[in-house]
Amino acid sequence: MFVDTHTHFYDEWLLPDAEEAVRRAIEAGVGKMIQADVDSRERPAMWEIGERHPGVLFQMLGLYPGSVGADWREELDQVFALAKGTTNAGAFVAIGEIGLDYHEGLEFAEEQKEVLRLQLELASALNLPVNIHLRDAWEDFFAILSDCAHLHLRGNLHCFTSSYEIYERARRYGDFSVGIGGVVTFKNASVAKAVERIPIEKILLETDAPYLAPVPYRGKRNESAYLPLIGRKVADIKGLPLQEIETMTTHNAESLFGI
């Protein structure tokens, strides 16, 4: 069995076909899938589909950096309320996806940093792992990790496409794994060099569906059913049998997220 550690069945691109997509994933050997939270606008759909597939779909809770705007305090208050059980949150297995994303501009950069700090503190208080989204913001992220070293964080760097050296820097501040997705299958993907060196014990598999579909589906809608294609590429890079990658990454996911 494979575990998809980051997917979005509730995304508008995938939601109309979500039930069939879950079925196809299970048939492909992907027995557990974790949905990353984004914000209050999409969260109800995430919970709804998750509740229809207990033991198969698991949920995170968090405010995505791209959703940090003028209403960030209200959005974050809802996350904290759910975390404290004041509304019907149900079970969640991580605080995520949270982080920093400067790709679209820096208008809310300071607010993103504050939201990230507060959610890292929340994860530590709840003894939950974090699922980190980063884009064009590594140095600010490391500065925050340095300030939060006392929190003894654990979690994963979602959609990791950076270098082994970046992975090593993150490890100085917490027990971080990396989420390897469809990008690793792209021609000349630089992350392959990092995958060669990162211990298999610290590698998770993910699709980020419906985005970043692996080859041969690149440019099309992604699905959790395509996760074994990512596993096969990691197996090729590592020079290991696919079954070993399947066993190890599943163990890694189940241990980190408690699923």
pLDDT bin (cut points 50, 70, 90) of residue 90 is low
Residue 47's H or E segment, with its range, is helix 43-51
What does the pLDDT look like over 133-174, one tens digit per residue?
Answer: 999 999 999 999 999 999 999 999 999 999 999 999 999 999
**pLDDT one-digit tens code per residue, 122-140:** 999 999 999 999 999 999 9
Asked if residue 55 lies in contact with residue 93, where contact means CB atoms within 8 angstroms, the answer is no
Tokens of 32: 């557990």
pLDDT, tens digit (0-9, with 9 covering 90-100), for 40-89: 999 999 999 999 999 999 999 999 999 999 999 999 999 999 998 754 44
161, 191 Cβ separation under 8 angstroms: yes
What is the tens place of the pLDDT at every residue in 1-19? 999 999 999 999 999 999 9
pLDDT value for 88: 45
Distances (CA, A) of 160 to 180, 195, 197: 6, 10, 14
User: What residues form DSSP beta bridges with 100?
Assistant: 134
Q: Are the C-beta atoms of residues 157 and 177 closer than 8 Å to each other?
A: yes
Contact at 8 Å (CB) between 2 and 250? yes
> What pairs with residue 156 in β-bridges?
131, 177
Query: Can you list the alpha helix ranges (DSSP code H) found in 150-241?
Result: 164-171, 191-197, 227-238
- Binned at pLDDT 50, 70 and 90, residue 35 comes out as very high
pLDDT (tens digit, 9 = 90+) per residue, 212-258? 999 999 999 999 999 999 999 999 999 999 999 999 999 999 999 99
Rg (CA), the chain: 17
What lies within 8 Å, CB to CB, of 55 at 6+ separation is 32
